[in-house]
Amino acid sequence: MINIAVFASGSGSNFEAVVRAERNGNIDGNVKLLVTDNANAFVIERAAPYNIPVYSFNPKLFDSKEAFERKILNKLEEYGIELIVLAGYMRLIGPTLLSHYEGRILNIHPSLLPAFPGLDAVGQAHDAKVKVTGVTVHFVDHGMDTGPIITQEAVKIDERDSKEEVQRRIQRIEHSLYPATIQFVIEKLKRSGG
């Protein structure tokens, strides 16, 4: 079984979708740790009923990204983490983590990348009045939402749809696409020898 850490900064609905899939046997791995940079994030409450340990850190108390990522790395090693799943983690991953987990860090983004990278992708798509947007799961590299794409799913936007309606539709898709993609990556990792 592959040991997974989820990184999140906010509400954590994707975190919960991944944990549910894991508990239902739809992900061949163990979610061993939640990492958050926000001690007030609702995701921490979501982790409690599942008894998932939380490593919460305050980036402001560190001198650099390298310093807090080294601390995270220690935690990941303590829990034997093999795969990192970003779920609304609002920071770029730096070289410290990237070099240890190359090809083993996934992110989910609420647009059809490379369209609408960065913050408020749903708002960007809505403002641009595109007819189709969607969800992308990709490997993480040094850039912002730039790594190799693994899966995508489209969502149609009608001109009468509010941003909130589009957001709801996107999140519903995220909650099925992310667990399925994680499982797909785990199977690939296993075939290539772990």
CB closer to ligand GRF, 17 vs 186: 17
Residues 41, 69: contact at Cβ < 8 Å?
no
Torsion, Cα 16 17 21 24, to 10 degrees, reads 60
138 classed as catalytic: no
| 145 touches ligand GRF by CB under 6 A | no
Q: Which residue is nearest to ligand GRF (CB)?
A: 88
**Smallest separation (angstroms) from ligand GRF to the CB of 108:** 4
191 token code pair: 């075939």
| 13 touches ligand GRF by CB under 6 A | yes
What residues are paired with 29 via a beta bridge?
Answer: 2
CB closer to ligand GRF, 14 vs 181: 14
Restricting to residues 70-129, name those near ligand GRF by CB under 6 A. 87-88, 108-110
**Smallest separation (angstroms) from ligand GRF to the CB of 138:** 11
DSSP state of 48: G
CA 94 remoteness from chain centre: 15
119 token code pair: 């913050």
Please identify which of the residues 100, 109, 142, 175 carries the catalytic annotation. Answer: 109
**Smallest separation (angstroms) from ligand GRF to the CB of 66:** 23
Q: 3-state SS string over 7-25?
A: ECCCCCHHHHHHHHHHHCC
Q: H or E element: which one contains 1?
A: none
**Smallest separation (angstroms) from ligand GRF to the CB of 122:** 7
Q: Which residues are catalytic?
A: 109
Which residues of this protein are in contact with ligand GRF, per CB under 6 A? 8, 10-15, 87-88, 108-110, 174
